[in-house]
Every structure is written in structure tokens, then in C-alpha cells.
Amino acid sequence: MSTIELANVSRWYGNVVAVNDITMTIGPGVTGLLGPNGAGKSTVLHLIAGFLAPSRGKLTVGDVPSWRNPDIYRTVGLVPERDSVYAFLTGEEFVLATARLHELADPAGATRRAIAIVDMAEAQDRRISTYSKGMRQRIKVAAALVHDPQVLLLDEPFNGMDPRQRLHMMDLLTKLGAEGRTILLSSHILEEVERLADTIQVIVSGRLAASGDFRAIRRLMTSRPHVFLVRTSDDRLLGSALIGRPAVAGVELTHGGLQVRASDYGTFSRELAVLARNQGVRLREVLPEDESLESVFAYLIET
Amino acid sequence: MSGVFNKVVASITVRAVFGRRRALIFAIPPLILILVTLALKAARPPGAPWPGRILGDFGFTVILPLTALIIGTSVLGAEIDDGSIVHLLATPVRRSSVIVTKFAVGAVLTMAFVAVPELIAALIATGTFGKLAIGLFVGALAGSVIYNAVFVMLSVLTTRAIAVGLLYVLVWEAVLGNFVSGARVLSVGQYSLGVANGIAHDSALHAGLTLTTALIMGAIVTVLTLVFASRRLSEFSLKGDAV
């Protein structure tokens, strides 16, 4: 009942394709939906949550379509990205109202349990309007968990949280995943997902760029060629020395300095300073040119 | 709870409506109506035909639709605008139940802020609990119901519900309704006046429809708009990534 399945799902708005032919299966445990901003992560989450109709393809949560099917919310909890909650309610009132909307047998008991899970008992009697961003996020998680769902969908859950709140949320999601729930969270920050998710689905430009075990994909990411801009006291001399090294795939003399393509990031990083010293060249600046997540994802698409 | 009216949705809606500054605006139109009535009462001799005109024309074509517009677009539209509706829709509550509950809350609030002041103003104007006062009160009750159904539907259809509602009230009802007799058949203001006149029988109300037509058309419009709004809400979509 807790498996999410997308089969050739596309979603477009007029001529713009937001999600392009995505096929994936998400089972119990924590799965990270990773990709740069605007890649289509939220669109995929909204499709799964039943808040968008697929333009093409089939999408099911626990074997039933989520679109126009409010009954799926008996097994699905959603934590939307937008920080809009009923700010005039207290935390407890908000979670209790959600429990009642789910028509739970013991809404008060379920509310107490959900608030305890997110560690918000002390602040439960305060109005949500007085909460910090992190507290709002936690009370949203409590409301999403109040009916004990098997599937929990979270859209950028760490946005606006301070480091301590992030750690708390990570521990909570890890625990929920270990209990056998299907936890799907979207993020554009690699390190967040790295600490949490067993498997990842990488979305780039609306397409599924990589899918599977996080460590294997991480290795792929770190072993890709890295481009550095190196400024020195003698670019030509250092360039000729660098091209002889196996860790370097190419060197180009530019007006701004040396553009070096390293095939082995680790070895190049260790050798560069030694090589410069041996050649009597002073290093003025070493800048990684392609460290943005977008370039990492772009590399994943090419491989 | 399992019925069409949902108490939890109603409770959240009432608290949301009165939690906004816009709630203060509800009280202004009825206050103006009562003040105008008091002023006319003081200025005019008793027996002149002004009560029907001011409470019918001004009350039913200005106060009632504007107050219903503010309330009807508040009960659901504000939640859609700020995105908090997602928390309500991410539960198994039937979408028709959300619409009917929001509509019922809007209708009752409009009755409290328009129909009751209409009755008070009519009592001040006529000095008796006669046919005119009863007719105006019942007509305003009917208008509260029908207008709210229309404005709740507009909230689901467009993020510019207030602008579209104003256009309907000011252009369709106030201008076309006065000059094109066919437009009256699709005018909620005329349904309300038709109901009021069906009881009051006062030519000063300028009712353009019979009681029967007003009741039948009012019922059809209410049911159709609520059904349509429920269908649209069940297809409520969240915007995805910036693409």
C-alpha cells in the first residue's frame, strides 16, 4: 500500500514541458528527490500528491491513482513547501483540526502523539503566527503525520531551518523511514539528501537524470572531470608541467589564467601546490569553475 | 461530520474570516444603510414612498452585493490565495463538503451583516413590522444565499474573484439589468428584489421578476454554481516549479 509508481509520466503547461516521461518506483525508506531549482521536483511531488493531473502516463500511490482521489490522503501525508498555515490557530488546534478532518477515532490522542513525534509539546499552545520557520515546518509535519500515514511527501522540508532544526528533522525522517514508511523529500541541496536518503531520484530539466543508490551516484559525481581556473606568476610554465600529469586531462591558456581540466579531482588537488613550488611558480588563485549543482547534474545527464 | 456540512471546516473558516482585517469592512455597508435610513427618517415626512426605494434600490443593489462579495470571496478565496487550502485539501474531506460548508458560512455571515440590518432599517423607516420589513428581510436572506454561491464559485475559478464579482455587480446587474430586461433573468439582485416584492407588493422596490421566477432561477443558480465549484475544487492544482 505504500509504493509510489510513475509510468511514463509527463506534465506540460501549454508548450512548456515541466516533467518529461518519468518512470520510477519509490518504496519504503527515505528517498530523495534531488535536482536544481526549477528542475521539476515540486511538479513531481504535486503529481504524486494528487495536486496536479499528469498530462500523460500513469501515476499511482498504493495502486490507486492520486489525481481527483481524496481517499489517498488516508494513507498519504503531505508537507507542502509553501509556508502558509492557519497562523491564527495554535499548533495543537491545527493538528487537532487535521485529525478531525481525517475523522480519526481518537483525534485528541492522535494529536498528542503527532506533536510528541516532532517535539513541539512545549509550544503547542502558542499561535502558529508566533512560530519560527523551523517550528512551522515541524507543526506541518505533525499535521501530516497525525493519521499515521504510510507515505509522507515533503517539499523542500529544510528550507529556512537553522542547522539544529535541520538535524532534528533529519533524525525524525530517518526514524520514520526506518519504521517502514515511504518517505519522499525534495531538495536542491546535495548534502541534505546525502545524510538522509538511501536512494535518490535526480531530476534535471524535467527528466529523470539518475536513479538508485545514493553512494553509487555520488561516486559518479565526484569522479567527473573538474574544471579549475588557476592564476599564477607564470601560467605558461605551470601549464606545461601540468599537462604532463596523469590527473590532468587538458590545459588551456586563457586571458584570465590557466583553465585546467582535472580527470582525477583528489590527485590534482594534492599535486597542484607541489608542482607549482617545484617549478618556482607562485599560485595566486585557484577557482573551481563548475562546482554548481547544475553542472553536476548536467554531467549526470551526459553519462 | 460525515454529512455535507463539515463543522471543522466551518470553525476554521469563521476564525479565518474574523482573523483578517477585511472582517471590519463587513460592518461598514450595513452601518451606512442604517445611518442613511436614520437621516432620511429625520428629513422626510412619514408616508412618503422612500423606504421601498432606498432599502430596495440602495440596499439590494449596493449594500447586499458588495457585502456578499467581500464575505463570499473571503471564506474560500483567501485560503486559495495564500495556499493554506492545501492543508484542508490534503485530507479525505469531500470537495463538495468543503464548498457547501464555505458557502453556508458565507451565507450566514451575509445574512447577519445585511439581512438583519435591512430588517432593522426597514423597521426604522416604516415604524412597523409590516409586509415591507418582512419582504426586505426575506429578500435579503435569499440574496445572501444566492450571491454567496456565485462568489464562492468565482473564488475557485479565478484568483481575481473580487474584480470579476465587482464587474458582475456593477456592469451586469447595475447597468445591463436596468436597461436590458433579459439581463434581469440572470441577476441575483433581481432575484432578491423579486422575493422581497413577492411579499411586500411595493412598486417602489422596482422588482423586475415575479416571485416564482425569482425563486426558480435563484434555486437553479445556487445549485449549479455549487456543483460547478465542487467539481473545480476537486481539480485544484498546485503550481509546480518555475519552468
Compare B23 and A1 and report the one with higher pLDDT: B23
Report yes or no: A36 at the B interface, CB cutoff 8 Å: no
C-alpha cell at A218: 555520488
Please list, in sequence order, all residues whose beta carbon lies within 8 angstroms of the beta carbon of residue A93, skipping any fewer than 6 positions away: none
How high does pLDDT run on average in chain A?
89
C-alpha cell at B176: 445591463
Give the pLDDT confidence score for residue A194 in this predicted structure. Answer: 77
The torsion region of residue B206 among left (phi > 0), alpha (psi -120 to 50) and beta comes to: left
Give the whole-number percent of chain A exceeding pLDDT 90: 63
pLDDT at residue A67 above 70? yes
The Cα B90–Cα A49 span in angstroms is 8
Locate the chain A residue with the closest alpha carbon to B231: A68
Give the pLDDT confidence score for residue A22 in this predicted structure. Answer: 96
Give the pLDDT confidence score for residue B182 in this predicted structure. Answer: 79
Model confidence band, residue A221 (pLDDT cutoffs 50, 70, 90): low
Residue A185 backbone dihedrals phi, psi, to 5 degrees: -125, 145
pLDDT at residue B26 above 90? no
Average pLDDT over residues B203-208: 86
Q: Do B237 and A46 lie within an 8 Å CB cutoff? A: yes
The Cα A105–Cα B107 span in angstroms is 31
Burial (CB count within 10 angstroms: exposed 0-12, middle 13-18, buried 19+), residue B187: buried
Confidence (pTM): 0.84
Report yes or no: B1 at the A interface, CB cutoff 8 Å: yes
Give the pLDDT confidence score for residue A162 in this predicted structure. Answer: 81
Give the whole-number percent of chain B exceeding pLDDT 70: 96
Sign of torsion over alpha carbons B172, B178, B182, B186: positive
Report yes or no: A29 at the B interface, CB cutoff 8 Å: no
Strand order in the sheet with A16-26: A16-26, A4-13, A56-61, A64-65
DSSP secondary structure letters along chain A = ---EEEEEEEEEETTEEEEEEEEEEE-SEEEEEE--TTSSHHHHHHHHTTSS--SEEEEEETTEE-TT-GGGGGTEEEE-SS----TTSBHHHHHHHHHHHTT-SSHHHHHHHHHHHTT-GGGTTSBGGGS-HHHHHHHHHHHHHTT--SEEEEESTTTT--HHHHHHHHHHHHHHHHTT-EEEEEES-HHHHHHH-SEEEEEETTEEEEEEEHHHHHHHHHTS-EEEEEEES-HHHHHHHHTTSTTEEEEEEETTEEEEEESSHHHHHHHHHHHHHHHTPPEEEEEESS-SHHHHHHHHHH-
pLDDT at residue A209 above 70? yes
Q: What is the pLDDT of residues B220-233, one digit of tens each?
A: 999 999 999 999 99
The torsion region of residue A79 among left (phi > 0), alpha (psi -120 to 50) and beta comes to: beta
The Cα A143–Cα B8 span in angstroms is 15
Compare A297 and B166 and report the one with higher pLDDT: B166
Give the pLDDT confidence score for residue B1 in this predicted structure. Answer: 45
Q: Do A102 and B242 lie within an 8 Å CB cutoff? A: no
Give the pLDDT confidence score for residue A224 in this predicted structure. Answer: 67
Q: Amino acid identity, residue A158? A: F
Locate cell 412619514: which residue? B46
Give the pLDDT confidence score for residue A205 in this predicted structure. Answer: 86
pLDDT at residue A235 above 50? yes
The Cα B189–Cα B203 span in angstroms is 16
C-alpha cell at A42: 515540486
- The answer to whether the beta carbons of residues A57 and A7 sit under 8 Å apart is yes
Model confidence band, residue A50 (pLDDT cutoffs 50, 70, 90): very high
DSSP secondary structure letters along A254-286 = ETTEEEEEESSHHHHHHHHHHHHHHHTPPEEEE
Q: Amino acid identity, residue A69? A: N
Of B1, B89, B92, the CB nearest to A74: B92
Most confident of A223-232, B55-64, B169-178: B55-64
Compare B183 and B126 and report the one with higher pLDDT: B126
CB contacts of B238 in chain A (<8 Å) are: 42, 46, 49, 51-52, 80
**Count of Cβ atoms closer than 10 Å to residue A55 Cβ:** 14
- SS3 labels along chain B: CCCCCCHHHHHHHHHHHHCCCHHHHHCHHHHHHHHHHHHHHHHCCCCCCHHHHHHHHHHHHHHHHHHHHHHHHHCCHHHHHHCCHHHHHCCCCCHHHHHHHHHHHHHHHHHHHHHHHHHHHHHHHHCCCCHHHHHHHHHHHHHHHHHHHHHHHHHHHCCCHHHHHHHHHHHHHHHHHHHCHHHHHHCHHHHHHHHHHHHHCCHHHCCCCCHHHHHHHHHHHHHHHHHHHHHHHCCCCCCCCCC
Of B8, B87, B237, the CB nearest to A85: B87
Model confidence band, residue A297 (pLDDT cutoffs 50, 70, 90): low
C-alpha cell at B6: 463539515
Give the pLDDT confidence score for residue B243 in this predicted structure. Answer: 42
Q: Do A53 and B235 lie within an 8 Å CB cutoff? A: yes
The Cα A268–Cα A249 span in angstroms is 10
How close, in Å, is residue B18 to chain A by CA atoms?
A: 10
C-alpha cell at A281: 611558480
Of the given ranges (A20-24, B164-168, B208-212, B237-241), which has the lowest mean pLDDT?
Answer: B237-241
Give the pLDDT confidence score for residue B177 in this predicted structure. Answer: 74
pLDDT at residue B47 above 80? no
Instruction: Please name which of A59, A58, A61, A54 lies closest in space to residue A11, comparing C-alpha atoms.
Output: A54
pLDDT at residue A266 above 80? no
Give the pLDDT confidence score for residue B240 in this predicted structure. Answer: 59
B positions 71-90 inside 8 Å of A (CB): 82-84, 86-90
The Cα B107–Cα A287 span in angstroms is 65
Average pLDDT over residues A129-155: 94
Report yes or no: A102 at the B interface, CB cutoff 8 Å: yes
Residue B83 backbone dihedrals phi, psi, to 5 degrees: 90, -5
- The answer to whether the beta carbons of residues B109 and B165 sit under 8 Å apart is no
CB contacts of A42 in chain B (<8 Å) are: 238, 240-241
